[in-house]
Amino acid sequence: MIEAFRGKKPRIHKTAFVHPSAVIIGDVVIGKHSSVWPGAVIRGDFAKVSIGSYTNIQDNAVIHSGDIYSDGKPEYFPTKIGSYVIIGHHALVHGAIVENQCIIGASSLVFNRARIRKGSMVGLGAAVLRDVEVPPRTVVVGIPARPLRTITDEEFKKIKAQAINYAKLAEEYLKAESRSSQARHKWGKPRLRRK
Ligand SMILES: CC(C)(COP(=O)(O)OP(=O)(O)OC[C@H]1O[C@@H](n2cnc3c(N)ncnc32)[C@H](O)[C@@H]1OP(=O)(O)O)[C@@H](O)C(=O)NCCC(=O)NCCS
């Protein structure tokens, strides 16, 4: 479901794939060859959510702009996700920045004003707390997330390769989707004949 909010409609590149069961609302921009998988939610209502190219948002992940309350007044933060980023199944990115070529592991959390620098990896189930910055090419794990080790050159390249492979999978889905909508079109408007 793709929905406008406060007059802002999601802008999704024509080469990007969005599964019909994903929900995308408001001020959201999605770049070329990116993909959004079943059940994922991307909500750009408090502020903008931008997603680069060749990035995948896997099943049931939640991407939202951030809201922080000091003295009872809300302050809003955009969420920015770069290119060649893998957001694993069931992860949450809320009011945070994820730079290019990162992996945000399945079921992990990246919270308000956190920043994941280029080429880093947040481990399965980790929680990157508010205002925390993960340095470039660093693996972090645990709650709260702490550095485990650095990313090797080989792993850094592998993140990009994995993102490109996901884009190929998305392309296959896009083609299948257009074939089935063409088939519906051929069938035309269903009509019952009079006796
Ligand atoms: C973080 C990760 C990259 C670590 O891999 P690794 O460097 O091979 O680490 P190891 O498996 O050798 O484990 C090293 C130590 O870290 C711990 N560890 C590894 N992953 C952990 C995690 N997610 N949370 C907490 N501890 C973790 C291990 O228990 C081990 O601890 P020990 O030394 O006390 O025994 C990997 O576990 C992970 O979480 N990958 C993310 C995958 C993912 O979600 N991809 C996207 C979806 S497709």
Closest Cα to residue 81, out of 114, 108, 46? 114
C-beta of 86 in contact with ligand 1 (< 6 A):
yes
Secondary structure (H, E, C), 90-140: CCEEECCEECCCCEECCCCEECCCCEECCCCEECCCCEECCCCEECCCEEE
4-42 pLDDT, tens digit per residue, is 999 999 999 999 999 999 999 999 999 999 999 999 999
Q: Looking at ligand 1, which atom is closest to the CA of residue 139?
A: 1
CB of 141 shorter than 6 A to ligand 1 = yes
Q: Give yes or no for a contact between 65 and 47, defined as CB atoms under 8 angstroms apart.
A: yes
User: In the predicted model, what is the mean pLDDT of residues 161-180?
Assistant: 91
Q: Half-sphere exposure of 135 toward its Cβ, with a 13 Å CA cutoff?
A: 7
What lies within 8 Å, CB to CB, of 177 at 6+ separation is 17
What pLDDT digit, counting tens, does each position of 92-134 carry? 999 999 999 999 999 999 999 999 999 999 999 999 999 999 9
- CA-proximal residue: ligand 1, atom 30 (nearest): 148
Of 160, 139, 163, the residue nearest 151 (C-alpha): 139
Pocket test for ligand 1, best of 148, 151, 152, 166 (most atoms within 8 A of CB): 148
Per DSSP, helices labelled H in the chain are 153-187
The DSSP code for 5 is B
Structural domains in the chain?
A: 2-185 (2.160.10.10)
For atom 13 of ligand 1, which residue has the closest CA? 148
For residue 149, the ligand 1 atom closest to its alpha carbon is 7
Structure tokens at 142: 């645990």
Residues 137-160 have a mean pLDDT of: 98
pTM: 0.92
DSSP H or E stretch at residue 47: strand 41-51
